[in-house]
Every structure is written in C-alpha cells, then in structure tokens.
Structure 1
Amino acid sequence: MSTRHPMPFDAFVAPARAHPQLWRLGLGLVLIVAGNMAVSAAIFAAVLWLRGAESGPLTLGATPGLMVLVLLSFGGVVLGTWAAARLLHRRGLGTLIGPRRRVVRHFLAGVAVIAVIYGIAFLVGVGRMDLERNLAPGLWLAWLPLALAGLLLQTGAEELALRGYLQQQLAARFASPLMWMVLPSVAFGLLHHDAGMMGENAWLVVGVTGLFGLMAADLTARSGSLGLAWGLHFANNVFALTVVAPAGALSGLALFTTPFGADDTGAMRGLLLLDVAVLGVIWGLCRLGLSRRAR
C-alpha cells in the first residue's frame, strides 16, 4: 500500500517511515500513558503530603497553585513521547514537531487568529454575561507567567503525542486519512470525556473537542508542522482557562468565571454549539492563509 502524502505533510511524515511497525506504535502509546501516569501520581502524592492533615475535598484545579500543578503534570506526556520516539523509532523529539522556523511562524499565526476571533466573540457575546470576578487583577497577573508556561507545556504535550507522534506513525503506515487524521482526533476527543465534571454535556464535549482535533490534524497535514495546531490550541486554552472559565474545577487561574458550572446542561450546551461555529471560521481562515502562501 502506498503511504505517500501531499507535500508538505510528506516531508513531515518522512522520519516516521524508518520504523513504521504497528507494534512499535502500540508500545510507544504504552510509554506515553505510563509517563503521564507516573508524573501525575508523583504530583498528586506531593500535594497530599504538603496538605498534611488538612481535611476537605481536593478539587481539581480549583486554586491557582493546584491548576498550575495540573498543567505541569503533562510533562509526563512529553517524557513518554520522547522515550517512545527515541527507544522504539530511533528518532529525536524534534522530528515530531517540524522545521523550527515554520513552527514558530505558524504558532504565532495560530495565536493571532484565536486572539482576533475570540476577542470579537468576547466583546459581542461572552463579555455581556454576568461574569464573576474569580481572582484579583494583581494576583492574576502574578500567576500569569506560570499559567502561560504551564499551558505551553500542556498544549505542546498533547500536540506532540497526538498530532506529532500518533499522526505521523499512522501516516507512515497507512495512506488513508481515516487512519492518520480521524483516529488521533477521536482519541483526542475521548481523552476529554469527564461525566463527573461535564454532566450530560460530556459527550458533546467529546464531539466538539474531536472536531477541534480533526481541524488541527488537517492543518498539520497542510502546513507540515505542529506550529499552527499548537498555536491555536495554546491560545484557545489561554482564553478558556485564564480569562473566562466555567465555575468550579479547572477555574483556579481564571480572571473571571461564568455564573454557571461546566455541568450546567443548558448554558454549556449553548456555548459548545457556538464553539462549533467559531471553529469552522477559524479553520477556514487558516486554510485560506495556507493556500495563499502555497501559491
């Protein structure tokens, strides 16, 4: 079966073709999961030790410190992906990302697109909500550098594992986009399923997140690097976790929170469906920019 793909994705996938065996990919995914579990468990154990005899529930990401630790736990994904690429495929971490200059250029472009679109959406819609102040501005600014560093790590880890390692290795083995574009996107969506936090919206969140994954996979294939997908992912999470977040878990770094939680079926469903429309606009603009640059 031919595994040739349109440029520049063909060059992006080339390093994966030396060792495309599925058993290597399977073991690599095990290493990624193991790395994530090990680092997450170590961080959780450290938090429990520092809390000592304090009573009360430990809500995921409910304070700035806990939220930063949640983001730092994704370092385990990076370590696992590095180990998989090095030990099983004999290649470095840089081959999962793409050419450095292109990555930086496309990353900044992705951030700019999200900033403009979400800025307009905030002024037109979200900004009119009865938002609640979550952190004092001074405290928010003090935590912001750590928040941005943590979000760079968290989004970079997910892009590295899914749009880098998994998408590349599947594309090295299969020609069909159903394998190398859809499967990583389905995995991305399923990893965000949390019925305890999202309630009845859990599967809608999976669908919207999977749609973002599909968009990111397509842009990765069109651009030949993780830069654009990473920039979009990073800027999206900056807005969703440090500017306006649903009340409750994962709101520890947000300047404002919505008057409803993530498990509020009606309110969140409306926002998620709006996200679908916004994602379509963002994807179209990015595709247009890439096609013009290719001329």
Structure 2
Amino acid sequence: MQYSAHVEFVAPARARPQIWRLLVGLIVAMLIYAFGIGFVFGGIYLVAGYEGMQTWATEMVEATGPTGTLLILATFFGMALGPMLAVVLLHRRSVGSLFGPFPRMVRHFLVAMGVCVLAYGVSFLLPSDLRIEPAMERALWLSFLPMALVGILLQTGAEEVLFRGYLQQQLAARFASPLIWMVLPSALFASLHYQPELMGDNALYVVAATGLFGLLAADLTARTGSIGAAWGFHFANNVVAILIVALDGPLSGLALYTAPLSAASEEIRPLILLDMGTTVVTWVLIRLAVTRA
C-alpha cells in the first residue's frame, strides 16, 4: 500500500521523534485524562454534594440512563486534551498537526460519515434474527440527541487524536515499518476494550473486532494524511452502537432501541463476526470514496 499523504502527515513529528518523549507524552496524556474524569466528578460534587456524587457515580458505571451516559462521554475531554498538551510541551509542534490539514480533515470526515450512513442503512434492510425493543420515547430521545451527538463527537475525536494522531505520528516518525506504527496503536486501542468481567468469553471477540477497526482506521489516516476519514468512520459506528441500537446494559442509556442480549451472551458472537465483515466492507467503500474527494 502506498501512503504518500502519510509522509506529509508525519512530517511535524520528525523534528522530535525520540521514544522517551513519546513515553512521557503518554504519561502526560493519561494524567490529563484522569484529571478530566476528576473534573467531571468535581462538577457533580459542586452541584449535587457528596451523596449526589455517589449516586451519579453509580449511574455512570451502569450508564443505562441518558444523563449517566452523557457524563461518561464528557470525561473524554481529558483524553482529547492530553495529546494536545504533549505535542506542545514535549514535541514543540502545533495542536493542529495532530489532525492534518483542516479542510481535508473536514471533507474526509463528511465523506466517511456519508458512506457509513449508506452502508449501515443497507445493512439494516437485510433480514436478521436480531430482536430489538424500544428503549426510549422518541420525543425524549430527540431532546437528548444534540448533546449525545456532541458527546460521541468528543469521545471518538479524543480516541482518534490519541491513537491515529499522536501515537501513529510519533511512531511513524521513528520507525518506517507499518507493522509498528499501524499495529502497536491498534493493539493498544484494542486492549483497552478488554472487559472480561462484563463480556465474559466474548471479551476476546470484542478485542479482535476493535483491533480490526483500529488497523482500518490507521490505514485511512495514512491513506488520506489526516484523521478525518477515520474519525467520520468511528463517529458513525458509535452513533449506531450508542444512539440507535445498543445491547441491553452499560452504554445503552441513550439508545432509541436495545437488543435484549447481554455483552456476555454467546448469541452475540455471530453478530460480532458480522459486524467485523460490515466494518471491512465499509472501510473499502470509504477508501474508494476518499480517493475521489
């Protein structure tokens, strides 16, 4: 695969590519992420007091209600801010360099999101044995929708900035092989989704699916020279999984419909494999579309 646009994308990271800077930068990012979570809880404490904070902490852990789910999404502002501070303090480069050229990023974000809408729309029309049930009244769902879209935009953007922006750029500035700058961030991205206490034996399937998405998002970033296509892909995917049809359980609080299956159910394994196939097909379509955008 040819990644000529990736050379331009990585260029700002080449001035200070030392691994120690990257490692310290990741520590900074983790600390800022933790600070962001603390900031959200501090705000809850100021509004609701200590007992209220405990109640909302439980709501956030379960994330089966709309406000608790929104608060979970809000904590990702720290993940977004961390890499931005790291590149300024440790690598002496601009925050904008994490995103790639802004017009290109926006254009490819919209293209990827449009392709996903078409691909997922077709997939919803295909026959399926999956049973779904209404989870929220439509009027209530619509009232939360603007904040939910902003929250998912923040959450997916934070992950793309960290994994496909900061990590991918800095590793590519130091190592030429895609086996390092594509695989390592994707493996880390996948490992953070490993939750055997919630998903049981399905945890490894979810890690595999997440790792596959990470690799495809890394490819789109390298192909286009910005995080726009990967971000649009990620955003559309999470909108469907969080706002349209969610599994019954954590992060189902903003969903219009839920499938009455737990994340640990054996019945979802074929669905995970089907989702992986849909992800690959959608990636191919996005890759074709961005070359013409």
Name the TM-score class by shorter chain. over 0.9
Partner AA of 1:42 in structure 2:
F
- Give the 5 Å matches for 1:40-119: 40-44=37-41, 46-47=43-44, 49=50, 51=52, 58=59, 59-119=61-121
Among candidates 29, 33, 44, match of residue 30 of structure 2: 33
**Structure 2 partner of 1:227:** 228
Structure 1 pair 13–136 and aligned structure 2 pair: CA distance change class (3 A): same
- Give the 5 Å matches for 1:1-295: 6-44=3-41, 46-47=43-44, 49=50, 51=52, 58=59, 59-125=61-127, 129-264=130-265, 266-291=266-291
Q: Greater shift after overlay, 102-111 or 48-57?
A: 48-57
Displacement of 1:290 after TM fit?
Answer: 3.9
Partner AA of 2:120 in structure 1:
Y
Secondary structure of 1:118's partner? helix
Contact persistence 2:116–2:282 (CA under 8 A): yes
Displacement of 1:56 after TM fit?
Answer: 11
Partner AA of 1:19 in structure 2:
R
TM-score, reference length from structure 1: 0.92
Measured on the aligned residues, the alpha-carbon RMSD in Å equals: 1.9
Displacement of 1:110 after TM fit?
Answer: 0.9
Displacement of 1:205 after TM fit?
Answer: 0.4
Displacement of 1:35 after TM fit?
Answer: 1.1
Secondary structure of 2:212's partner? helix
Displacement of 1:61 after TM fit?
Answer: 1.4
Structure 1 pair 207–26 and aligned structure 2 pair: CA distance change class (3 A): same
The count of aligned residue pairs is: 287
Gaps of 5+ in 2: none
Distance 2:238 2:40 in 1: 21
Displacement of 1:20 after TM fit?
Answer: 0.4
Secondary structure of 1:8's partner? helix
Secondary structure of 2:270's partner? helix
Q: Greater shift after overlay, 233-242 or 75-84?
A: 75-84
Displacement of 1:133 after TM fit?
Answer: 1.1
Partner AA of 2:210 in structure 1:
T
Deviation per CA, 1:99-119, whole angstroms, max 9, x where unpaired?
111111100011111111111
Deviation per CA, 1:116-141, whole angstroms, max 9, x where unpaired?
11111122145x63211111000000
Deviation per CA, 1:255-283, whole angstroms, max 9, x where unpaired?
0000112121x221111000111111112
Distance 1:19 1:230 in 2: 26
Structure 1 pair 57–50 and aligned structure 2 pair: CA distance change class (3 A): closer
Displacement of 1:150 after TM fit?
Answer: 0.3
Distance 1:31 1:288 in 2: 37
Gaps of 5+ in 1: none
Structure 1 pair 74–7 and aligned structure 2 pair: CA distance change class (3 A): same
Distance 2:110 2:292 in 1: 17
The structure 1 segments of at least 4 consecutive aligned residues displaced by more than 6 Å after TM superposition are: none
Displacement of 1:57 after TM fit?
Answer: 5.0
Q: Greater shift after overlay, 115-124 or 70-79?
A: 115-124
